Amino acid sequence: MSREILKVENLSMRFGGLLAVNGVALSVKEKQVVALIGPNGAGKTTVFNCLTGFYKPSGGSILLDGEPIEGLPGHKIALKGVVRTFQNVRLFKDMTAVENLLIAQHRHLNTNFLSGLFKTPSFRKSEREAMDFAEYWLEKVHLKEFANRPAGTLAYGQQRRLEIARCMMTRPRILMLDEPAAGLNPKETEDLKALISVLREEHNVTVLLIEHDMKLVMSISDHIVVINQGTPLADGTPEQIRDNPEVIKAYLGEA
Amino acid sequence: MTRNLKQALFSALLVWAVAYPVLGLKLTIVGINLEVHGTSNATLITIAVCSVLMFLRVIFDREISSAWRSSPGVPLIPAKASNFLTLPTTQRWIIIALIAGALVWPFFGSRGAVDIATLVLIYVMLGLGLNIVVGLAGLLDLGYVGFYAVGAYSYALLSHYYGLSFWICLPIAGLMSATFGFLLGFPVLRLRGDYLAIVTLGFGEIIRLFLRNLTGLTGGPNGISNIEKPTFFGLTFERKAAEGMQTFHEYFGLEYNSINKVIFLYLVALLLALGALFVINRLLRMPLGRAWEALREDEIACRALGLNPTVIKLSAFTLGASFAGFAGSFFAARQGLVTPESFTFIESAIILAIVVLGGMGSQLGVILAAVVMILLPEMMREFSEYRMLMFGALMVLMMIWRPQGLLPMQRPHMELRK
């Protein structure tokens, strides 16, 4: 199959005396959808924070295309093409939907001070292209009619979609979604599922997600990693995970 | 009702207690009698009327507030007008009209008025510069006056020691201040909110004390005097030109009139302020300006999208400082004298008050607030002892009625064409 894009080995994160993540390993191949599941407080988001540079891991290695990225600051990791969404949506609420998308394109734009000051043709062109790219993605996530509304006034499900579109503005290679289906109704969850497969098929994005909605996880994941209390519990295909007695025990408690 | 009565009596007494020191009354013991000194019948009557009014106000509190509420709500500025005033397009037209007016009026105004207007323009420039840092990037900077001082001293020193002209020094002063902004910003920008405010406050004071104690170079507390005024393409506005120079009035064959100099200084200030206004206006529509606002709203999201927060904050700090540098060098040229005492903390506070009063991020608001803050004390010279009192009262009233500022910003939203 395709090559490995992200390899995490023996990742650990310690907060004082608390070992929040201990020895987690991940192997993600290109264009795969990999899910990270586990009970509340298992350390899934901590793993995400380590991968995206918000925390500096206490131990272990993270290789992106064979290149170590552990301990790099968040914005550098984002520039390498690892972009995330947040468990509680983090949009720029006072800015319009389309402006949210423009900000995410910052490094692709002409940020030269003088050319912006005098509106040179190259500056205009770069702004126009950014606008077109934003429009394209607004269309994709069915938010074009809300383009000029402040992001904070959108409905919750729309905000979630906008956040994904905003990530796509950075032309990511790995998209990390932290509970993308939380708070969505069944219809919206179906749409999300369709969107994720579009991202994978048409835009060659590898998706890593944390999710509690098992129906969604089982239907879109190629590979599932289960974490319990910071330690890896199991990993495998959806079928293997579904039948794993350890996993059932962790979720439902002992019979 | 009895509780109300008690409260009302207490409030009435409080009026006396407050009026006594504020109006400068004095109690003196004469023999065994206590006498009130330093008063007239008029002040006593005023205080009495005020306390009665306060008594009635408190005792009929409920009636008054219910009447107030039932009357059709009339806000200070009607909502529609307020919205209209803050729209970007209206603001642009107002600004164009203001520019036209500002260019023409000094030729008809009095010398004193033009002089004060020049001062107002300096504060407009400072307000616009600080607005970048505080209003757009959301970094509370209490040491902004430090960069103003750097700009002023850059010109003063270069002119004093090397005889460089104002127009050469202006960009140098801007660059110097920007450099200082960069150097000071680098270590402190990892701090947030209150901590940043305290550290910048310290830096502002350090710069002032440094200038004060570097006697050999800066003249210490005496400062540097006899700084040259700006010239008009090499023509001075003095009565007699220095050697090798020509005066403005001789060149154009006019009678010498000292008001020419004042008007020229005003026009230079206007030019600089308009330049600042233009640059900031463009910045708002540039990726950099958008990034500042995004960073103010959510730093974590910015980082997750690959924006480097340090670089973006630093650019705001540096650009803001450079405007202070321009304003500073003009200040030095206009004054002809710089001393460290022109750059005390109260200046920073006034500039910050201009930004907050005008409405964070709003340019027209800053202009209006600068006019109010500088003009009011000048016009009410008789009440100068109460300046701080009025200053405080103005701030309190603002926070009650218009916490978002006089003319709050409406951002020029980028819109998708349909």
Nearest by CB: A102 against B282, B290, B300: B290
Instruction: With CA atoms as reference, report the closest residue to B364 among B100, B38, B128, B193.
Output: B128
Cβ pair B290:A113 closer than 8 A: no
Instruction: With CA atoms as reference, report the closest residue to B196 among B141, B130, B137, B129.
Output: B141
User: CA of A253, closest CA in chain B: separation in Å?
Assistant: 36
Question: What is the CATH number for B170?
Answer: 1.10.3470.10
> Which residue is closest to B311 within chain A, CA to CA?
A75
Domain count, chain A: 2
Model pLDDT for residues B32-85, shown as the tens digit of each residue: 777 777 677 777 888 888 888 888 888 887 777 777 776 655 555 566 666 676
> Which residue is closest to A165 within chain B, CA to CA?
B305
Asked if residue A101 is part of any domain, the answer here is yes
> Which residue is closest to B301 within chain A, CA to CA?
A90
pLDDT at A208 exceeding the cut of 90: yes
Q: Which residues of A touch B293 (CB under 8 A)?
A: 92, 94-95
- Mean pLDDT on B354-370: 86
What per-residue confidence (pLDDT) applies to B45?
85
Question: What is the CATH number for A58?
Answer: 3.40.50.300
Same domain flag for A149 and A203:
no
What per-residue confidence (pLDDT) applies to B73?
52
C-alpha A142/C-alpha A161 separation (Å) is 9
Same domain flag for B63 and B102:
no
Cβ pair B416:A117 closer than 8 A: no
What per-residue confidence (pLDDT) applies to A82?
93
pLDDT at B168 exceeding the cut of 60: yes
Nearest by CB: B288 against A79, A104, A111: A111
Asked if residue B147 is part of any domain, the answer here is yes
- Mean pLDDT on B139-165: 93
pLDDT at B308 exceeding the cut of 80: yes
Asked if residue B406 is part of any domain, the answer here is no
Could you give the percent of chain B with pLDDT greater than 70? 91
Asked if residue A88 is part of any domain, the answer here is no
> Which residue is closest to B281 within chain A, CA to CA?
A117
Same domain flag for B192 and B287:
yes
Contacting residues for A176 by C-beta, under 8 A, at least 6 apart: A48, A51, A52, A82, A83, A84, A85, A207, A208, A209
Asked if residue A226 is part of any domain, the answer here is yes
User: Are A172 and A5 a contacting pair, CB within 8 Å?
Assistant: no
Model pLDDT for residues A226-254, shown as the tens digit of each residue: 998 889 988 899 999 888 888 888 877 76
Q: 292-311 in B: which are within 8 Å (CB) of A?
A: 293-294, 297-298, 300-309
Nearest by CB: A90 against B285, B301, B308: B301
Same domain flag for B286 and B374:
yes
Instruction: Determine the 3-state secondary structure of B33 from DSSP.
Output: strand
Chain pair A-B, CB pairs under 8 angstroms: 110
Asked if residue B408 is part of any domain, the answer here is no
C-alpha B32/C-alpha B30 separation (Å) is 6
What per-residue confidence (pLDDT) applies to A112?
82
Residue B94 has which token pair? 């107002």
pLDDT at A88 exceeding the cut of 80: yes
* B412 or B369, greater pLDDT: B369
Instruction: State whether residue A111 sits within 8 Å of chain B by CB.
Output: yes
Same domain flag for A179 and A158:
no
* A125 or B382, greater pLDDT: A125
Same domain flag for A219 and A253:
yes
Same domain flag for B53 and B104:
no
Instruction: With CA atoms as reference, report the closest residue to A84 among A36, A51, A118, A128.
Output: A51
CA B44 to each of CA B17, B37, B55, B202: distance values in angstroms, whole numbers, following the listed order = 13, 11, 16, 46
Same domain flag for A184 and A128:
no
Nearest by CB: B294 against A53, A92, A147: A92
- Average per-residue pLDDT for chain A: 90
Asked if residue B238 is part of any domain, the answer here is no
Domain count, chain B: 2
Asked if residue B236 is part of any domain, the answer here is no
C-alpha A14/C-alpha B101 separation (Å) is 65
Same domain flag for B169 and B299:
yes
Q: Which residues of A touch B132 (CB under 8 A)?
A: none
Same domain flag for A55 and A101:
no
Q: Which residues of B touch A90 (CB under 8 A)?
A: 298, 300-301, 304
pLDDT at B97 exceeding the cut of 80: yes
Cβ pair B297:A138 closer than 8 A: no
Contacting residues for B87 by C-beta, under 8 A, at least 6 apart: B410
Instruction: With CA atoms as reference, report the closest residue to B136 among B282, B271, B331, B328.
Output: B282
User: Which of B414, B415, B417, B418 best probes binding to A when mutated, by most A CB atoms within 10 angstroms?
Assistant: B414
Cβ pair B290:A103 closer than 8 A: yes
Model pLDDT for residues A23-67, shown as the tens digit of each residue: 999 999 999 999 999 888 888 999 999 999 999 999 999 999 989
**Structural domain harbouring A122:** 93-171
**Structural domain harbouring B66:** 2-70
User: CA of B414, closest CA in chain A: separation in Å?
Assistant: 6
Same domain flag for A213 and A240:
yes
What per-residue confidence (pLDDT) applies to B88?
67
Same domain flag for A155 and A178:
no
Asked if residue B417 is part of any domain, the answer here is no
Same domain flag for B351 and B211:
yes
Instruction: State whether residue A129 sits within 8 Å of chain B by CB.
Output: no
Residue A26, strand partner residues:
A8
Same domain flag for B215 and B334:
yes
Nearest by CB: A84 against B290, B302, B304: B304
Same domain flag for A67 and A109:
no
Same domain flag for A139 and A184:
no
Asked if residue B285 is part of any domain, the answer here is yes
Asked if residue A87 is part of any domain, the answer here is no
Q: Which of A29-38, A183-192, A221-230, B20-29 has the lowest mean pLDDT?
A: B20-29
CA B102 to each of CA A3, A35, B94: distance values in angstroms, whole numbers, following the listed order = 67, 64, 12
Residue B246, strand partner residues:
B235
Same domain flag for B27 and B129:
no
Same domain flag for B34 and B98:
no
- Average per-residue pLDDT for chain B: 85
Q: Looking at residue B131, what DSSP letter applies?
A: I
Nearest by CB: B416 against A94, A110, A147: A147
Tell me if the pTM is above 0.90: no
Confidence class for position A1, pLDDT limits 50, 70, 90: low
pLDDT at B87 exceeding the cut of 90: no
Same domain flag for B113 and B62:
no
User: CA of A225, closest CA in chain B: separation in Å?
Assistant: 23
Amino acid code (one letter) for A98: V
Q: Which residues of A touch B415 (CB under 8 A)?
A: 96, 98, 147-148
Q: Which helix (H) or strand (E) holds B34?
A: strand B33-37
Model pLDDT for residues B109-133, shown as the tens digit of each residue: 888 889 999 999 999 999 999 999 9
Confidence class for position A83, pLDDT limits 50, 70, 90: very high
Confidence class for position B381, pLDDT limits 50, 70, 90: confident
Same domain flag for B13 and B135:
no
Same domain flag for A77 and A176:
yes
Instruction: State whether residue A17 sits within 8 Å of chain B by CB.
Output: no
Model pLDDT for residues B198-224, shown as the tens digit of each residue: 999 999 999 999 999 999 888 888 999
Q: Which residues of B touch A104 (CB under 8 A)?
A: 305-306
Cβ pair A107:B279 closer than 8 A: no
Same domain flag for A177 and A249:
yes
pLDDT at B196 exceeding the cut of 60: yes
Nearest by CB: B305 against A78, A94, A119: A78
User: CA of B274, closest CA in chain A: separation in Å?
Assistant: 14
Contacting residues for B109 by C-beta, under 8 A, at least 6 apart: B117
pLDDT at B406 exceeding the cut of 90: no
pLDDT at A221 exceeding the cut of 90: yes
Cα of B396 vs its chain's centroid, Å? 17
Q: Looking at residue B26, what DSSP letter applies?
A: E
Q: Complex ipTM, two decimals? A: 0.89
Q: Which residues of A touch B285 (CB under 8 A)?
A: 116
